[in-house]
Amino acid sequence: MRTQVAIIGAGPSGLLLGQLLHKAGIDAVVIERQSADYVLGRIRAGVLEQVCVDMLDEAGVGTRMHKEGLVHGGFEMLFQGRRHRIDMHALTGGKSVMVYGQTEVTHDLMDARSAAGLTTIYSASNVSVHDFDGPRPRVLYQTEGPDGPQQHAIDCDFIAGCDGFHGVCRASVPQDALTTYEKVYPFGWLGILADVPPVSHELIYANTERGFALCSMRSETRSRYYVQCELTDRVEQWSDDAFWDELRARLDPQAREQLVTGPSIEKSIAPLRSFVAEPMRFGRLFLAGDAAHIVPPTGAKGLNLAASDVKYLSSALIEHYREKSDAGIDHYSDRCLRRVWKAERFSWWFTSLMHRFPDTAGFGQKVQEAELDYLIHSESAARSLAENYVGLPLDFAEP
């Protein structure tokens, strides 16, 4: 098989890249090691920055998002038993975020790709990338045939590694060409998805003596809640009743009264880490999204960072094919990393502010309380939080 761009990974970043390239008349094949049902079964974040919303519109998949998504102009911070609203709309000159689940984004992109008759290869095993340091990259993979595994090869101009933190693309880069930075946090998030109305029409971020909590939603009838938990905890230890009791204990009296509980339809524990791999380009191989960076979910930046990578990469590839210029390709990594590190900083700061750490007691707790008090009484501090939360603008200037 021959294509212009081979995209490894059929998550939202790989599918969005494929859709944008298709709109520009560039041929791309998407290769995914999991089944389509497995990809759709992954429960992920659901807060989209305007940059991400605009890209989904550009890709032609924004209709259902605008119909079913929830536009939020603010969020609430709960500490010392009281809630305080951060008015993003007022603080950022009218900007907002869209609450629309990543699963729904993936579904919309899958449907668009299928409707256009574009090639997506699911359940591809033993995927490997080759010769990306030269002019003729190749992707090899296997599929299960009636007589056993069948070997396939894709010749391409470029490879886009959108295959996540554990994917093959970053692992295929020579170790001496890669520098990684990582911070692992000493706690996790226990999350539950339930078909119950949200406790509030906007998100609530809670800093409590019992630990962090987040009240979020996927729609007006489906809620997503989280509580900070120990890294050693297991999902089996937490019954639905135990989760609801713990969440209730971390809310203010009004929220406790309004909380509607019900059976979980998904429950999981996610460890928190910050991770960056530099650079993000190796010859004709590009890393995008979780393949290159991970942020803790506190600031809702994971999917949005992946989308901005895709914007830079799609623009660079379109420039290459249309204008015969490699300026975008040459600056891809630096442009991405400038935005990545700003998001890493914000996510680290917000995580540090809202969670209980082993050393939070005493001095650490007082510093958190002072910072939270400063945030709600200083317009400039609140504006900085709001600007980062709604998403910093894309920058196409040379670094």
Domain ranges for the chain: 5-71+101-182+272-357
How much is the pLDDT for 45? 75
How far is the C-alpha of 113 from the C-alpha of 117, rounded, in Å? Answer: 6
Q: For 8-30, what is the mean pLDDT?
A: 97
Q: CB-based contacts of 366: which residues, under 8 Å, 6+ apart?
A: none
Please report, rounded to a whole number, the percentage of residues in the chain having pLDDT higher than 90. 92
How far is the C-alpha of 190 from the C-alpha of 271, rounded, in Å? Answer: 9
N-term to C-term CA, the chain = 37
Contact 337, 179 (CB under 8 A): no
How much is the pLDDT for 373? 95
How far is the C-alpha of 91 from the C-alpha of 380, rounded, in Å? Answer: 9
How much is the pLDDT for 208? 94
45, amino acid identity: A
Band (pLDDT 50/70/90 cuts) for residue 221 is very high
Tell me the per-residue pLDDT of 340-395, one tens digit each, with 9 for 90 and over: 999 999 999 999 999 999 877 788 888 999 999 999 999 999 999 999 999 999 98
Which residues are annotated as catalytic? 72, 205, 297, 301, 389
pLDDT of 66 above 80: yes
How far is the C-alpha of 162 from the C-alpha of 175, rounded, in Å? Answer: 19
Q: Which residue has the tokens 């729609």?
A: 219
pLDDT of 396 above 80: no
pLDDT of 198 above 70: yes
Band (pLDDT 50/70/90 cuts) for residue 320 is very high
Q: Average pLDDT over the chain, rounded to whole?
A: 95
Residue 200: strand pairing partners: none
How much is the pLDDT for 126? 96
How far is the C-alpha of 83 from the C-alpha of 77, rounded, in Å? Answer: 5
Q: For 260-264, what is the mean pLDDT?
A: 98
How far is the C-alpha of 99 from the C-alpha of 206, rounded, in Å? Answer: 19
pLDDT of 43 above 80: no
pLDDT of 23 above 90: yes
How much is the pLDDT for 156? 98
Percent helix / strand / coil, the chain, rounded to 5? 40, 30, 30
pLDDT of 286 above 90: yes
Tell me the per-residue pLDDT of 95-112, one tens digit each, with 9 for 90 and over: 999 999 999 999 999 999
How much is the pLDDT for 399? 67
Please report, rounded to a whole number, the percentage of residues in the chain having pLDDT higher than 70. 99
pLDDT of 295 above 90: yes
Max CA pair span of the chain? 69
C-alpha separations of 392 from 108, 154, 282, 385, 389 in Å: 25, 37, 26, 11, 8
Q: For 291-302, what is the mean pLDDT?
A: 95
Q: Which of 336, 300, 212, 288 is nearest to 18 (CA)?
A: 288
How much is the pLDDT for 185? 97
pLDDT of 259 above 70: yes
Tell me the per-residue pLDDT of 128-140, one tens digit each, with 9 for 90 and over: 999 999 999 999 9
Q: For 57-81, what is the mean pLDDT?
A: 96
- DSSP 3-state of 206: strand
Q: Choose which CATH entry (2.30.40.10, 3.40.190.80, 3.50.50.60, 3.30.2130.10) describes domain 5-71+101-182+272-357.
A: 3.50.50.60
Contact 149, 135 (CB under 8 A): no
